[in-house]
Amino acid sequence: MISLKGKIVLITGASSGIGRATAFAFAGAGARLLLCARRLELLQELEAPLMKAGAAAVTTFQLDVRERAAVDAAVASLPAEWSAIAVLVNNAGLSRGLTKVYEDDPVDWDEMIDTNVKGLLAVTRAVVPGMVVRGAGHVINLGSTAGHMTYANGAVYCATKAAEMAISEGLKIDLIGTAVRVTSVDPGMAETEFSKVRFRGDDERAAKVYERITPLTPEDIAEAILWAATRPAHVNIQSIVLTTIDQANSMVFHRHD
């Protein structure tokens, strides 16, 4: 088991949901946390609780991963004491709408592709070369069961998560011969802000997604991420697929009476 005490962990989209829970999981392991998201005020509110939870240090900064120049500048301008990133958690991602692809809004396509695919690529491109030079590192990408099976009215979101899976596999191939590890963590239904974002704040519609189902929690997923990151250095967990007991795949659910 690898100790993460004092190691630098960069988490994107860390202001809420899975990213927030992952920050607390790594705080409990004594890591130094480098957290970014679009909503800086929410990140700043986490600094004191994360220190109390055991983080060795916490630094937060605002970043939209869709802006590649901003990603490059943010990573390049890290102080020397924060530059040796040991673990990158590419968590930033979202879905917009639930619509037939031929009727969908192309603006929503752009936001999902730019965040879930191009944003992931931008952060990976900025961080991984340093890991290769240092001879150590771990990239953990957030995928989804949606990347394994396409569901109705979600073609573009599912495509972005299938792309994440392919990028993770390709990155691991490209890193063969180095000590850098790559993991894709692919959760099923989890109760976060995901559905509220998808339906643009429609709380009633979002709540129906989880109706009569016991979903995963962000903490469930954070625990899987931390587990993958703490395996012995010679062990690479290529992928983890986790669902609630009420979900078989992206299409099959059990709703309680």
Q: Residue 157 catalytic?
A: yes
pLDDT in tens, the chain (257 residues): 899 999 999 999 999 999 999 999 999 999 999 999 999 999 999 999 999 999 999 999 999 999 999 999 999 999 999 999 999 999 999 998 889 999 999 999 999 999 999 999 999 999 999 999 999 999 999 999 999 999 999 999 999 999 999 999 999 999 999 999 999 999 999 987 776 667 677 677 767 778 888 999 999 999 999 999 999 999 999 999 999 999 999 889 899 88
Q: The dihedral of CA 38, 3, 175, 149: what is its sign?
A: negative
Residue 1 lies in a domain: no
Each residue's pLDDT tens digit, 17-51: 999 999 999 999 999 999 999 999 999 999 999 99
Answer yes or no: is 256 within a domain: no
In a domain? residue 249: no
- Which range of residues forms the domain containing residue 224? 8-242
Instruction: Give Cα separations from 52 to 58, 59, 163, 165, 247 (angstroms).
Output: 11, 14, 37, 35, 35
Q: What is the token pair recorded at 184? A: 């894709």
Which CATH number fits the domain that encloses residue 127?
Answer: 3.40.50.720
Annotated active-site residue in 102, 151, 157, 210 = 157
> For residue range 152-193, what is the model confidence (pLDDT) as tens digits?
999 999 999 999 999 999 999 999 999 999 999 999 999 877
For residue 79, what are the contacts with CB-CB under 8 A and spacing of at least 6?
Answer: none
Quote the number of domains for the chain.
Answer: 1
Sign of the CA dihedral with 57 first, then 63, 67, and 69 last: negative
Residue 251 lies inside a defined structural domain of this protein: no
Instruction: Establish if 248 belongs to a structural domain.
Output: no
In terms of Cα–Cα distance, which of 53, 131, 145, 49 is closest to 95? 145
Contact 46, 60 (CB under 8 A): yes
User: Is residue 193, in this structure, part of any structural domain at all?
Assistant: yes
Whether residue 255 is contained in a domain is answered as: no
CA dist 176 and 227 (Å) reads: 22
Q: Is residue 229 one of the residues assigned to a domain?
A: yes
